[in-house]
Structure formats: C-alpha cells, structure tokens
Structure 1
Amino acid sequence: MGPSTFLALALVALPSGDAAGEPGRHWAFQPVHEPATPQVREAEWCSTPIDRFILKGLESKDLRPSAEADRRTLIRRLHFDLLGLPPTWEEVQAFVQDIAPDAYARLVDRLLASPHYGERWGRHWLDVARYADTKGYVFFEDAEYPWAWTYRDYVIESLNQDLPYDRFILEQLAADQLEPRSLPALRALGFLTLGGRFMNNQQDILDDRIDAVSRGLLGLTVSCARCHDHKYDPILTRDYYSLYGVFANAVEPTIPPLYFDPPQTEAYQAFAKELKAREQKLADFVRTKREQVMSGARTRAAEYLLAAHALESQPSTEEFMLIADGSDLNPRMIRRWQSFLLRTRRNHHPVMAPWHEFARLPEAQIAERVGEVLAELIRPSVERPLNPLIVQTLASQPIRKLEDVARCYGEVFKTVDSAWQAGAAQGASRLQDPSQEEIRQVLYGPDAPANVALLPQGNLDLLPDRPAQEELKKLLKAVEEWRAKGAGAPPRAMALEDVAQPIEQRVFIRGNPGNLGELAPRRFLPILAGQDSPLFTKGSGRLELARAIASPSNPLTARVIVNRLWLHHFGAGLVSTPGDFGLRSDPPSHPELLDYLAAQFMANGWSLKQLHRQILLSATYRQSSRDRPDCRAVDPENRLLWRMNRRPLDFESPRDSLLAVSGRLKHEIGGPSVRHPFLASANRRTLYTYLDRMNVPSLFRTFDFPSPDATSPQRDTTVVAPQALFLMNNDFVSQSAERLLERAEIRRARGVEPRVESVYQLILARLPSEAEVSLALGFLGSEPTEQQWKRYVHALLMSNESATVD
C-alpha cells in the first residue's frame, strides 16, 4: 500500500461539504426547530405525524409501507421493547380478543406504567453510564463498589416515575447542589463516580467522566481533544481542559452520605454502636501516630529544610532517590516542606525570607555575604519586617554555609516549640510574644508542613514505618467493611462534593500533567454555547455545566436522547452513530423527523414516556417485519423503514424469558446485586447481576454485552456459534426446561398433544400449527419419557422464534 492509498483513505475519513469549511454549519450544531408535518399522497395510512415524515421518504422512492403486524406480533414486540419480558398466553389472548379501537393504546399505557419498564430501560441507560459493581484494577485496594446498586435503583425509579429528562441530567451531574436538596437524588451522582479507576490514575478517572458525559449526553467525542485539538470536530484541547477543571474540583467524600434517614431499629442501633467503636479505635490510633509524625517534622525542621532545598533541582519522578540515599527523613514530608518553601518564597515572609535569601546564593558566597544579606533584609524600605528571633539568631551565630542557616532555624523552632508546649499545657490558645507566635504558626498553623492528616489513605506513607502503615490500613478496612457490609448497615450514595477552593485548570500539553500550558477556565463547549459563553463561577461548575447540557437551546441533548429511544425501538437510530453526532457522523436518515421529535420532546416537558408513546402509536412502528424483495432492492438497509426490522433479543431478555416461562422469575425491584446469575438458584432479572470489571464472564461477551470500561451508546449485534452452543449445553437452560415441565399448566394437561399445546402457550404464547404438532408427535411418540419431554422443551427454548422479536 503506497502513500497515495493512505492519502485516499485519509480523505475518505475527512468531513465534507459545508461542515468541512465551516464546522459551525454542521447539522447537529444547528438549533432545534420544529418543522411542519409534510404533505403525503396516502395520508390515510398515517396514525401520527411521525408517519407523515416516514411516508414522505418512502414516496420519494416510490415505495409503500408494509401492512400492520398481527396482534400477537404487536403485543410480543411491545412487551420485549418496553419490559424486556415475553407476554403470557393469557395476555396475548386478552389483547387479540379486545376489538375496542383504543385497545392498542391502552396496552401501550399499561406497559409504560409497569415497574418492569424502569428495569428494561434502566439497563439501556446503564450501558451509557458504564455501570459495574467494581473499580477495575486498583492494586491492593478493595476493588468493590459496595453501593453501586443504589445508582442502578435510582435509574429504575426515575424512569418509572417519568422524571423529566432534563432533571435526570441535572441530578446525575449535580444532585448535591440542587435546591431543594433531595437525599434520594444523591444516588444519581453514581453516573460520575462508578466508572473505572484505572489503577487510581486521576487523569484517566476524570477523562472517563468527561467521556461519559460528552458521548453519553451530547453525542460528542470530547475526549479526543485530551492531547491535541480534535482532529475533526471543532473542539480544542482548551475546551477539553475547561471541562476537566469542572470534574477536577469535585471529590468523593471520605464517608459516602446516607440518602435517607435510617429507621432506628434494633439492628441499626447495633450496627451504629459497633461502627462507633471501630471508628474510635481508628481515631485513637490516628491521633497517636499523627502526633508522632508532626513532632518529628518539627524537631527535625533543620534537616527537612536542607532536604527540601536539595530536592528543588530534582523532578518529582526522582522522589525514590530520597529513600535510596540512606536518609531516614520521610519523602512525603520533604515534599511538604518543599511546597511550604515555594509558597513563602512568593512574598516577603517574615520568618522564611532570610532562608530564601541565603538559599539562592552559591554555597561559597554565603560566609562573605551574610552581613550584606541581613542588612538588606532589615532595611526600613522593605514592606514587611523580619521576625526578630530569626534575625538575632542568625546575627549571633557564625554563618559559613547553608547548613549553619538551617541549624539557626532549628534552634529557634525548638525554643518556640518548648514555649508553646508549656503554654498549651496551661490552656493557652496562642503565645503572648508576637515574634514567638509568628514562628508557632510556621510549626502549627493551618498551612504548616508539619500539620498533616493521615486520612485519607493517600497520606499513609507519612507514617514512620511499615508496621504502622499496615496497622492503619487494617483499622481503616475494619471501619469501611463494617460501614458497607455490617449487619444492619444502611446503604449510601456514591456522591461527589465540591472542593472548598476551586482551582483553575491548565492545559496539559500533549496530555502530560507535568507539562502545563495556558489556563483553561471552566466553561461549556464554545461550539454549543458560543465563543463568549460565560465562565463557571459557582463551586466546581458542575451545576452550571448540567444546566448548559439540559438547556432547550442546546442543539444536541434532545436530539441524542430521541435518537437513542428510536434506536432501541427500531434496531437502528435515525443517526447511525448514537455516540457521535460530530462532523464524521452520517447525516440523519430523516432529519426533519429527528427535529420534530426533539422539539416535541422538549415541549412535552422532556417526558420520556410521552416520547415512547408517540413512537409506539405510530403506524411506522406497527408495521410487519416481513421481507419485500421489491423494497429491499431499493433500500437494502431499510433506512426508509418500509418495514419493521426483525431483531435478535439482547443478552438479558433470553435469560429473563427463561426464568419467566419456567415460573422461576422473582419480580422484586431493586436491591443489592446478585452474583452467579446462571446458578439454578438465581431467579432475579439479569439486570441485577453483580458485574466485576476485571472479570466480565466470557458468556456476557459472547452475547454482545458491552464493556463497562467505557460508555456504550450502542451494543454490537452478532449471531455466532457459541451463542447456540450455550443454549444447547448450559445447565441453566436444561434446568429451565425441567422447571417448566413442573408447572401446573403442564401437569394438568392430559395426553401428548394437549401437553404440547401447553408448552407452546408457555414458551411462545401461541398454539402450535398442525405441522408443529405433527413434528412434536413424531419426536415424542405416544408415551414419551420425562427425558424426551425435557429435550423437546429444551429445543423450543432455544428456538429462533424465542430469541428474536419481529
């Protein structure tokens, strides 16, 4: 393949038309305007405005829509689309026999009101939210998210309650900042916090959150601008780091909050008592060790000053050299002194200014210039006077090298520390001598390098020895495990909170956090909000970002969610790339329909159920899926929707159907995740399966379950041999056949043919045809054994009809 071939491939990938020269003219970046419904020749076919847009496209190609599907097909299609479960024989018969004009509409409303609707569509959203119950690889840290399921339950509840989609967005990005404050809504923040932890690499964690928000909510691949300006879309690296700054200024609280007031039961009181005892044991240990760490940092201040000075010429990646050189100083504490010196160098600090003046001199010049340095420092013109205790000590001691300066500081610090210890013992809150109090602040003040917290665990290496570190880890684990899994422990929300003092983010040049570029103030994407979009000024900016995303003036949000619903109802979106509406995306198959639905969606209060209803009541949705060669010759991919697409069921629906038809399905909504979904005792919906990022079962991948390592706007769809092999050989399927044969409906049937009819009614919700009865009798004979029945039922459970929806 020569250079010309590579050039040709590159040109194919580039945007074309108006968008290539003026990205702002790209269709997805234009405001949503509701178009007029088109005029069509066969208007009598149309049940809703949706049908007019579809029919216009068909008539432009001289095509006609397909006939309406039969009633059994329609109720089965609706059940799987809205609930992810098959209808029963009784439900099918009731619908088939209901001849009222509004029978279909009433069926749609009944299914939308079912609590199982939230489970079905919650699973679709969890793909977007990259839901899992674990963090991925995090070294020796506990990898489990004990409360991930609370986010999953929030999603189910929100969808069942038809929470407006704009509010759904606000809560998932900034529930902690909304007024009035809602404790249950705190669970929504799991959308941000339950992503992978990428070996605790903070930059990757934040990148994952940006990706979930941008692709999941906006249909834009913003993360492509992490290391350079986006190659195709009008998104600069600065835009990426504007969003990075939003999420970098929000942290997870040390103790996740409760999202309800726990009832004061005996079990909870026992839990709280044990938790308090464990926390007290941890607090006692931390208090003792913290005092040891801080005392060492103060008494050895001279050594730490010299070490911090020596470290200034070393990059942070060489911190291990501090350990390798034989010193028993703590590397983390050296870094803290270094940071303190950096802060005090920026102004004329009354205590540290002399140190900085001597530290900047070459070692050989210190002895000869000591008088000059001190004279310069104490000149009346200097804005802030020096601490007299430091000056007097330096003036009274022979100063030949920087070690002598450090020794002087150490002597003064020890003298003041002793005075403070004596005063504190008598209840003093500060030293009376202003000069001493000034130095005490260097040792004990809020910004003092020796004033450290051992928690969270990021400061474990401040402890002086490995046994102490291991003991602290042990005590922390005891508290965290009991808080999460102790008997009577209330569940908590995987929440976020803003930092006290937000910082402005700088661009990481080429994605390198050690190579800082220009400031990137927190703001929304200019391509959507305009080049003069306001900066975010309230805390981290999460709430302002959420409002910008959920704004009716945002051209993407409504289009993206409308397209996602259309995708799950028809098997293909109006836009073929649901996670990328950027310049490289294909244009919508029906752009006016997409805008009509987006405008209607917002006008109807961002109601997802109302949007479902609009789509499901259309004649377009009710079409038969039968093939028509003449139409296929014109539109082989059915982009014009001359028929309904026949679709394979997703991974969850076949397993849930096996549980349902065998009478084993437990209809309980919500609760902690369940491990081992294919054990005989597992009777909850697949939605509730415990999902380990590091160990996603191969079976899940075989059936196209999406990776939870990143947001998944659309699942792959494959039909491969291992799927059939699983259905043929897995114990779960054979056990389902056994349990189905134990159902009362089967036991009551007398004779082979009536029993075959009962099996068809339970599995396929229909009666068998004469040919199917004949085939069954040929296999079973007149007196079939239980093993023959089991094989026969097993074959029906793995039939193509069971695995697809027409």
Structure 2
Amino acid sequence: MAPRLRFTISKSPTPSCIITKARTRSTMSSTPCHRLEFSIRNCWRTVRRTAGRAAATALIAAGVLELTRVPAYAASAAANGPLDQERAHWAFRFPPEVNPPIVKNKRWARTAIDKFILGKLEKLGLQPAPSADKRTLVRRATFDLLGLPPTPEEVDSFLRDASPDAFARVVERLLKSAHYGERWGRHWLDVARYADNKGYVFFEEKTYPWAWTYRDYVVRAFNEDKPFDRFVLEQLAADQLVLQGDCRTLAALGFLTVGDHFSNNTHDILDDRIDVVSRGLLGLTVGCARCHDHKFDPISQADYYALYGVFASCTEPMVPPLVEAPALKEAYEGFELELIAREHKLREYVETKHRAIVQGARTRIADYLMAVYAQRNQPATENFMLIADVGDLNPTVISRWRATLERAGAMSSIWAPWHQFAALAQTNFAELAPEVHRAVMKSDRINPRVAAALSSAPLQSMKGLAERYAALLSSIDKRWQEALSNPAVATAPPRQLPDPAEEELRGVLYGPDAAPDLPAQMDWGFLSLLPDRASQGEFQKLLKDLEQWLMHGPEAPARAMVLNDLPMAYEPRIFQRGNPNRPGASVPRRFLEVLNPRCFSRGGGRLELAQAIVDPKNPLTARVLVNRVWLHHFGAGLVTTPSDFGLRGEPPSHPELLDWLAREFIRGGWSVKSLHRLIMNSAVYQQACVAPDEKSQSVDAENRLLSRMNRRRHDFETQRDALLAVGGTLDLKAGGPPVALSTPRRTLYTFINRLDVPPVMATFDFPSPSASCPQRARTMVAPQALYLMNNDFVADCAAAVLRRGDMATLKSRAEKVDRLYALLFSRRPTELDLRWAGDFLGSSPDGKAWQHYVHALLLANEFVFVD
C-alpha cells in the first residue's frame, strides 16, 4: 500500500484559530504518496498564514501538531522549515548521477535509454515489441525530424544499406536538412505562443509586422544546433549579450514580445511574459501566484512580483533595431531621414503633453484628493467611462492618488489625519471634526509640517482638509524647485531636502510611487493619459504616421521586436489580491526562492534571470526541455504535464531516465541534436507499434512503460505539407514574412491571427496562440474526416499527384499503383491493395477515376498517421 499522510492534534491547548485551522486539515489522512508533498505544504501554510512561520514551527516543536508516517524526503518542519520540505519534491532536486539498471535481455538493450525502459518492463514480466521494419523506421524518422514524407528514393537508399549504422546515418542526414529547423521550430513556437498579430487592441496597428523575424530566428537556431542554454539567454536578454555583429539574434526577444497585447493592459502583458517564461522554460505555473500565494507549489506572491519587477523594468522601443543592414544604403538614408522627422514630432508632442499632465497633477492636488474622496466607496479603476463627475481630471492620476492614500494607510505620518477625518459622516462633519482634530494634534507620530498645517482654525469639511494638504505640498514643491535652481549647486544638484519632515513630504510629489510623477510613454499606453478627444486624436495620428512609415515606407527594412531596459529599474511591490491599485510590500527583483533566492542587481535583471534559468545547477530547465523532446518523439512525455513539474503535475513514468537524460543533455553542451541522436538510436524508439503480447496491453494499456512505439496522428502542418509534397507542389522557400494559408508553402509560414485562427487549423487541434501551449490536444472528430473527404484543397492535391512527372510517364495500372504507394506510404502495394485498386478503377469508367482513387488513398490512416 502507498505511504499515507496523517495530521494529528496531539495536545489540547487553549482553543484558538490556529488549532481550529489545524483540525480542519487533520482529516487528510489518506493522501496518495505522489500527492504527499502538496498535503504537507497545504497544512503548513494554513497554520503559518494564521500564526506566522515561527509560531507554526513552535507548535510542531511543542508537539501540538504532529506529522506521522512521513517519507524520508519530507524532513521535520521543526528542523528544516517548509521550503526545505517543498524543495524535497522531485522536480526541485538536482538530477542525481544515476546508472542504468542491470537487465536480462542485454542483446536488446543496446543503449542506456533501453536499459532504463527494459528494467521497468522486466520487473513487471513484460517484453518489448520487436523492431519496426526499415520502411517504417525511415518514414517515422523523416516525419519526426522534418515533418515531411520521405521520397521513394530516400526509402530505397536506406533499404539497400545493410550496414549496422545505416539508421544512424539516416538520422544524421535528416538533422543536417534545412527542413529540420522548420519542423522543430514549430514545436517551440507552440510553447512561445507565436502569432503574427497582437490580439484585440483599440486604435493601433493590429499586426506584428516583424513577428516573422522571431520565427525565422527559431528555425535558424534549431538548424544551427544552437546550445539550448544560449538559446534561452538570447530569447530573454539578447540586447545585453555580445552578438559578434549578427543583429539577427536580436529577433530572439520575440519570445517575450510576440504575446497578446490584452487591449494594452500592461499588467496582463507582463503576466503573459511571466507565464511563458515560467511554464515554457521551467515547467512551473508561476502565474497562479498573481493574486495570492500559489495554492499548491512553493511559489509565493513575492516570487511572482519579483519576476514582475524584472519585466516591468524594460520597454519596447518605438523604433526597433534592424535585423540586418539595408540592401540599398542610399535609398535607406532617405527612409531614415523621414523616420527621424516623424519620431521627433511624436516625441516632442508626448514630452509637451506629459509635462502639462504632471504639472497639473502637482498643482491641482486638492481637486484630485476630493475626487478620490468622492469615489472612496467605488472600485478602483482607470477606465474613463467608469469615473463620473471628475471634470477634466486625469483618471490615471486619480487612480495613483487613490493608491497613494490606500498604501499609506491610517498609520501614515502624512496621511493619518486624512483617513481619520474621511471616516466622519458628511452630515455632522463640523460637529465631530474638533474631537478628531484634538486627537491629531496630540499624536507624536504626525509629520511636524502636516501638524503645523492643520493647527489653525478647525476644519468644516473634507474640502477644507484637501486644500490644506494642497497648500502644504505646493509649498514643499516650491522649496524643492528653489533648491534645484540655486546656482551654488548647479554642478551637483541636491537629491533631497535637508529637513527630514519636508523630504518625507517631497516624496509624495516625486519618485516612482508618487501620484503626480507619471512615467512618459512613447507608445499607445500614453493614450490613457489623454482624457480629451482632441489630444487623443492628435496623438493617434502622430503615432500611426510613424508606425505606417516603419512598416510600409519605401525601402522599409525588417526589424527585431526587442526589449530595452529602462534607465531606472522598476522597484516592484506586491499587488494586494493582484490589484495594481493596491500596492503592498516591496520585494526585490530576484529568481524563485525555492530555486535560487539571490537578488538581481544588474539593470532590470533580465540577463541575470536568464542565467539563473540555464544555470546547470537549476534542477528544472534541462528536465523540462528533455521531456519536451521526448514528447514529440513518442507522443507522450516522461512527464505527461510538460509545462507543470510542480506538486500538482504528474510524476515521471521513468524518473531515473529523465534525470539521466537531463544530465547527459547538460554534459553534451545543451545540444538538442545530440539529444535526438541519443533517443532515435535506441531500441525503444525503433520498436514496432504492435503490442508484443496481450499481457502488455492489459498491464499497460496507455503504453506509459513503452513496451511498444505509439502510433501518432500527424498534426495539421504535417498533414498539409505532406499533401503538397506528394503532389509535387510544395514551395520549399524558407523564411520571410507570413503568407496566406492558400499559398503552397510550408504551413509554418502561414499568417497566424490569434483572434481568428483559421477554422481548418483549429479543427485539427492547432493550439490557441493566446497562451503557451505545452502539448497539442489529440482529438478524432468527424469534421477532420469530412475536411479530407470534401475539401477542394485535398482534391486538388490528389489531382497534382497524378500530374507529377514521374507519374505521367507511367503507362500500366500496376506501375502507377506501385508508384502511388511508394509516394504516399513508402512501401510496395500488397496483392490485396492491387485487387482493391483494380476493383475501384475498373468500376468507374469516367476519366476522374484515378483522381478519386488517389483521393481515397490520401484519406487512409496510413497517410494520416505515422507508426
């Protein structure tokens, strides 16, 4: 029986909320072993949230709360604390050095991979399937690595090669093909939620004009066998690396920037970047900690906002850099002059408007305070349509003032009086105010300058209080401007006011958290700061003029969708319940605490984050990538939740094999092609799809133990490309801007609209590009068969097969059928196949019989699936 977890209350202390909470968890007495870590952690956090870590540890140490029958990896919380328990989860431990098990069938197990698989089979009395025939192997390998069918000539060449390393040479040939990067690049683009447009946005250009530069970068990286650690570094921080003159590498940052724009909601954009990095590279659902600590994994809200700070510290430039030098230098110089002129107009407009908005925010303090007071019982928002009766006040500034007051709270030395007076009822404010006033004057926690401003005549209304705060802050601002303009300090301007009380008040007006100190934005985000339609229209026109020239001007070159660090890194705060209008405690920019809590100190921290992710000591990155490669070779990963290696993810079917592969991957220089060689030259990969006996089917119906190879249906791209390839109409041109689905190029190059994925692609389980896709769904539904039966595209492909030069010259029916089977199925037709062909072709006297026959063959499972 699997180990069980039991929580017990072993003493009876004074009743309290702590013990009540512990008792509510004490019923969890039968948790399966593979969920054990979650139960321990969940109980711990329940107690810890109520009393704090120290008190909870003390409860366990005192024997009030007891954990019984805990496996060795879950050490005592009193000794190690909760994070040590959570680090004991298999995915958070560095892969140990493991040796392949000793197996009986040494002849079959020719590689370490085979021994790990066979060892488990032999323990259960199972046998592996026999090897697949050579035709099946070359077809399987070609589809796996290229996403295209092998040609009859390639199949025949392999059949003639009787050498022991014949298949290894086939693998080498395929890995050298330029089409390899197209196939495996598409796998990565699923993870990277690649699309050619931004999703729903308001006024701006909806397409990404240069998203394709990222797609081409990915294809090139796989073809070049770029080490995966370098691949990750470039995708997160190419702008901070030495690129040795190859500006095309800057396109790697598209990994972060090709995501959904979420109607230009900055917080959602940053959340999307955190998600694609954490799930795509680490196999962790960090996004679940946006509003609260992760419910299952050891990922806190502080972890989430530490990463939020990294990505909030960078911005997309209005004019991205070129990916390569322009072909016509003289023509480009004219283009660039116009570009500079348009950018200057936009920048001048933004700076002018920004100065006016900030100045208004600093001079109309009383109006903004009263606007916040009037909305004190309404949800916080920056939406123009949801803020009523604010006149020409800026909604964003109102929101920032509200956040300032909420963040300060009732204990603030500056804003405590405001909160106390604001709590009074409007109807009898004048009667109650004197008592509050006396209490404020007696307090020794109030800022002396605030106390002095409030010490005059009693207040009659909140408006009067707002005006006193405004007068005080205006005087502080005046003093600060005088200090800055003092000729004596022109060479070394002051950084603060000498009086501590005045400096505290200056912080209300200046700094990243100051309500009036709005950041200037040279993008569509600036539109939210312009509440009047005239200003909005002018800004839209200037920005659209610049965008259109960048994309469509004469000699407009391709550009990289990069990120650049801001001059000053963003200092993140935890948003309470995920609400950006309720910033809480500050957190440093750093990596996940459970992996490496070291803080980032260089710029915004993107490069340091990338280095932490590919650190060989990181237990996750290599495992996650190895599992993804295994998934695409076998149809299922060793871990069947490829983007969730956390406590709620499925444990690996072969943990020692996963660890061995991860270590080999790192030892081999993070080479993905070397990983292909390891896997594909194994006997496990070369098995037939037929179950070796009935016992294997009953014991392991899902084939998790890999006693046979899995039969897999082609994804949409492979089916479409194969149809074009066998018809001889596939245009193999590589790279460049996206094309329409009707263009006979590889499907990889089709324009992907994240708002409207072509229905046929969705029918065949093409993933939504709105989020990182760990693994495509595998459905078998009627519309798939109906498409293949009735769509004109498939019928045209059938006709194209017959127009091929090698088909048109054949005279006899037997020769044509033989060639068709070689093209479509990589084999010779059987006697039964020939008899069926004769029956079909003989029963249809019209000239379209052959086209209908080919069309029928294209519907066969043998063409749609790979064994």
Q: For residues 460-511 of structure 1, what are the alpha-carbon distances to aligned partners after superposition, in whole Å with 9 as ceiling and x for unaligned? A: 4655842342133122112102202333211111111222222332222222
- Change beyond 3 A, Cα 1:429–1:364: farther
Deviation for aligned residue 1:114: 0.8
Alignment of 1:407-806 (within 5 A): 455-460=522-527, 465-529=532-596, 533-630=597-694, 631-675=696-740, 677=741, 679=742, 682-781=743-842, 785-806=846-867
Alpha-carbon distance in structure 2 between the residues aligned to 1:321 and 1:72: 66
Deviation for aligned residue 1:143: 2.1
Q: One-letter code of the match for 1:257?
A: P
Deviation for aligned residue 1:692: 0.9
Alpha-carbon distance in structure 2 between the residues aligned to 1:713 and 1:670: 25
Query: Structure 2 residue aligned with 1:251, among 315, 324, 328?
Result: 315
Alpha-carbon distance in structure 2 between the residues aligned to 1:55 and 1:130: 36
Alpha-carbon distance in structure 2 between the residues aligned to 1:100 and 1:156: 32
Does the alignment pair 1:58 with 2:121?
yes
Deviation for aligned residue 1:263: 3.2
Alpha-carbon distance in structure 2 between the residues aligned to 1:68 and 1:411: 83
Does the alignment pair 1:230 with 2:249?
no
Does the alignment pair 1:179 with 2:242?
yes
- Change beyond 3 A, Cα 1:504–1:208: same
> Matched residue of 1:73: which SS?
helix
- Change beyond 3 A, Cα 1:553–1:59: same
- Change beyond 3 A, Cα 1:754–1:101: same
Deviation for aligned residue 1:586: 2.9
Alpha-carbon distance in structure 2 between the residues aligned to 1:333 and 1:581: 42
Q: For residues 118-140 of structure 1, what are the alpha-carbon distances to aligned partners after superposition, in whole Å with 9 as ceiling and x for unaligned? A: 11111111111111111212233
Does the alignment pair 1:145 with 2:205?
no
Does the alignment pair 1:308 with 2:368?
yes
Checking the alignment, whether the CA contact within 8 Å between 1:15 and 1:232 is kept in structure 2 is no
Q: One-letter code of the match for 2:152?
A: W
Structure 2 regions of 5+ residues with no counterpart? 1-24, 41-73, 75-85, 408-413, 432-447, 453-462, 483-489, 493-505
Checking the alignment, whether the CA contact within 8 Å between 1:227 and 1:509 is kept in structure 2 is yes
Checking the alignment, whether the CA contact within 8 Å between 1:14 and 1:232 is kept in structure 2 is no
Q: For residues 380-403 of structure 1, what are the alpha-carbon distances to aligned partners after superposition, in whole Å with 9 as ceiling and x for unaligned? A: xx99xx9xxxxxxxxxxxxx9799
Name whichever of 613-622 and 401-410 sits farther off: 401-410
Deviation for aligned residue 1:113: 0.9
Q: One-letter code of the match for 1:16?
A: R
Structure 1 regions of 5+ residues with no counterpart? 1-5, 344-351, 366-381, 387-399, 420-427, 431-440
Alpha-carbon distance in structure 2 between the residues aligned to 1:702 and 1:692: 15
Name whichever of 158-167 and 504-513 sits farther off: 504-513
- Change beyond 3 A, Cα 1:728–1:294: same
CA RMSD of aligned residues (A): 4.8
Deviation for aligned residue 1:535: 1.3
Alignment of 1:82-481 (within 5 A): 82-179=145-242, 183-265=247-329, 267-276=331-340, 278-279=342-343, 282=346, 301=363, 304-311=364-371, 313=373, 314=375, 317=380, 325=389, 327-328=391-392, 455-460=522-527, 465-481=532-548
Q: For residues 42-72 of structure 1, what are the alpha-carbon distances to aligned partners after superposition, in whole Å with 9 as ceiling and x for unaligned? A: 2122221111111211211222222211111
Deviation for aligned residue 1:214: 1.4
- Change beyond 3 A, Cα 1:781–1:507: same
**Length-normalised TM-score, structure 1:** 0.82
> Matched residue of 2:95: which SS?
coil
Alpha-carbon distance in structure 1 between the residues aligned to 2:202 and 2:574: 29
Structure with larger RCO (C-alpha < 8 A, sep 6+): 1
> Matched residue of 1:44: which SS?
coil
Checking the alignment, whether the CA contact within 8 Å between 2:31 and 2:39 is kept in structure 1 is no
> Matched residue of 1:695: which SS?
coil
- Change beyond 3 A, Cα 1:118–1:231: same
> Matched residue of 1:86: which SS?
coil
Q: One-letter code of the match for 1:537?
A: S
Checking the alignment, whether the CA contact within 8 Å between 1:445 and 1:451 is kept in structure 2 is no
Q: For residues 514-538 of structure 1, what are the alpha-carbon distances to aligned partners after superposition, in whole Å with 9 as ceiling and x for unaligned? A: 3333332222222222xxx321111
Name whichever of 314-323 and 515-524 sits farther off: 314-323
- Change beyond 3 A, Cα 1:792–1:122: same
Name whichever of 606-615 and 513-522 sits farther off: 513-522
Which residue does 1:348 correspond to in 2? none
Checking the alignment, whether the CA contact within 8 Å between 1:523 and 1:536 is kept in structure 2 is yes
Name whichever of 154-163 and 572-581 sits farther off: 572-581
Q: One-letter code of the match for 1:310?
A: M
Q: One-letter code of the match for 2:115?
A: R
Checking the alignment, whether the CA contact within 8 Å between 2:372 and 2:401 is kept in structure 1 is no
Alpha-carbon distance in structure 2 between the residues aligned to 1:338 and 1:238: 23
- Change beyond 3 A, Cα 1:464–1:700: closer
Deviation for aligned residue 1:158: 0.7
Q: For residues 739-760 of structure 1, what are the alpha-carbon distances to aligned partners after superposition, in whole Å with 9 as ceiling and x for unaligned? A: 2221111110113222222222
Query: Structure 1 residue aligned with 2:35, among 1, 9, 16?
Result: 16
Deviation for aligned residue 1:662: 0.8
- Change beyond 3 A, Cα 1:30–1:754: same
- Change beyond 3 A, Cα 1:252–1:770: same
Checking the alignment, whether the CA contact within 8 Å between 1:19 and 1:26 is kept in structure 2 is no
Deviation for aligned residue 1:592: 1.4
Checking the alignment, whether the CA contact within 8 Å between 1:198 and 1:204 is kept in structure 2 is yes
Alpha-carbon distance in structure 2 between the residues aligned to 1:405 and 1:20: 55
Checking the alignment, whether the CA contact within 8 Å between 2:236 and 2:256 is kept in structure 1 is yes
Deviation for aligned residue 1:24: 2.5
Aligned-residue sequence identity (percent) comes to 53
Alpha-carbon distance in structure 2 between the residues aligned to 1:401 and 1:508: 32
Q: For residues 348-370 of structure 1, what are the alpha-carbon distances to aligned partners after superposition, in whole Å with 9 as ceiling and x for unaligned? A: xxxx9xxx9xx99x9999xxxxx
Alpha-carbon distance in structure 1 between the residues aligned to 2:227 and 2:470: 67
Name whichever of 194-203 and 646-655 sits farther off: 194-203
Checking the alignment, whether the CA contact within 8 Å between 2:310 and 2:570 is kept in structure 1 is no
Name whichever of 645-654 and 514-523 sits farther off: 514-523
Deviation for aligned residue 1:274: 4.3
Alpha-carbon distance in structure 2 between the residues aligned to 1:67 and 1:184: 46
**Length-normalised TM-score, structure 2:** 0.77
- Change beyond 3 A, Cα 1:337–1:63: closer
Q: For residues 706-730 of structure 1, what are the alpha-carbon distances to aligned partners after superposition, in whole Å with 9 as ceiling and x for unaligned? A: 1111111111111111100000111
Which residue does 2:49 correspond to in 1? none
- Change beyond 3 A, Cα 1:546–1:99: same
Name whichever of 111-120 and 466-475 sits farther off: 466-475
Checking the alignment, whether the CA contact within 8 Å between 2:399 and 2:581 is kept in structure 1 is no
Alpha-carbon distance in structure 2 between the residues aligned to 1:14 and 1:142: 52
Alpha-carbon distance in structure 2 between the residues aligned to 1:14 and 1:537: 40
Alpha-carbon distance in structure 2 between the residues aligned to 1:169 and 1:554: 13
Checking the alignment, whether the CA contact within 8 Å between 1:293 and 1:464 is kept in structure 2 is no
Q: One-letter code of the match for 1:170?
A: L
> Matched residue of 2:570: which SS?
coil
Q: One-letter code of the match for 1:731?
A: D
